[in-house]
């Protein structure tokens, strides 16, 4: 099961990938900014008796990691992310001051590196990692076959793609990676993006003007 929350003043979609049978889960993009958002997540975890085993990032833009430090400290877990996103993670404090996020330095957080094609297991739930740079360095999409879903972060949106005018962005690279790795998934897979509503691979093939 995949549970969605929407957090902070940028409206970031945070997802839980849940193995309901084994009561384990991964948090994807812990974006909690306010205390009540943090409480909302913790209440869900507590009510459902879920153990957090992974903290996954689709990418390290500050709006997607606003609650990362407290999650690392609370659950005693490393950050699981692509190595190319390390620089962005280290710049989170500086970017936060510009974008209205009061985040502390992330320099001391332990990092577990991901690579293209890696398989993760959240309990018995398999998650496949797709390296899809272009929106920013280190961008990862997470494919969850059991749920027929792909969590795309800011690489792919409903009817659109991620912006590529920020440092490290590359429009041609993003398009090429989306076409080669994401759009080749089955048509009935749900697309779960980093902002706003969901879609399907079939609808993105048919209606997305960039693809």
Q: State which residues form the domain around 149.
A: 2-207
Using DSSP's 3-state secondary structure scheme, residue 16 falls into strand
pTM exceeds cut of 0.85: yes
Question: Which of 145, 49, 154, 60 lies closest to 111, judged by CA?
Answer: 60
- Percent of the chain at pLDDT > 70 equals 96
32: its two tokens: 């909690």
pLDDT digits over 21-67, tens only?
Answer: 999 999 999 999 989 999 999 999 999 999 999 999 999 998 999 99
Identify the residue whose tokens are 């945070």.
Answer: 14
Regions in the chain scoring below 50 on pLDDT: none
CATH of the domain at 129: 3.60.15.10
Q: DSSP class of residue 147?
A: G
Whole-number Cα distances in Å, 34 to 8, 52, 66, 172, 196: 7, 20, 9, 36, 19
Q: How many degrees, rounded to 5, is the angle at CA 112 between CA 190 and CA 32?
A: 60
The count of domains in the chain is 1
Distance CA 82, CA 91 (A): 15
Whole-number Cα distances in Å, 35 to 41, 134, 170, 203: 10, 32, 35, 36
């Amino acid at each position: 099961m995949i549970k969605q929350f929407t957090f902070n003043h940028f409206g970031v979609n945070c997802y839980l990938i849940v193995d309901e049978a084994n009561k384990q889960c991964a948090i994807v993009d812990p974006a909690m900014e306010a205390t009540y958002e943090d409480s909302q997540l913790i209440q869900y975890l507590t009510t459902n008796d879920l153990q957090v085993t992974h903290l996954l990032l689709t990418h390290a833009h500050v709006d997607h990691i606003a609650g990362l430090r407290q999650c690392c400290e609370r659950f005693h877990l490393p950050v699981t992310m692509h190595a190319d996103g390390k620089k962005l993670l280290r710049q989170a404090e500086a970017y936060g001051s510009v974008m209205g996020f009061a985040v502390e330095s992330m320099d001391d957080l332990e990092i577990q590196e991901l690579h293209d094609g890696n398989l993760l297991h959240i309990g018995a739930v398999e998650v496949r990692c797709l390296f899809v740079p272009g929106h920013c360095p280190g961008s990862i999409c997470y494919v969850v076959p059991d749920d027929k879903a792909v969590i795309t972060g800011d690489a792919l949106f409903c009817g659109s793609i991620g912006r590529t005018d920020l440092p490290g962005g590359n429009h041609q690279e993003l398009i090429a990676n989306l076409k080669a790795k994401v759009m080749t998934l089955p048509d009935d897979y749900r697309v779960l993006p980093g902002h706003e509503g969901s879609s399907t691979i079939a609808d993105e093939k048919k209606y997305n003007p960039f693809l």
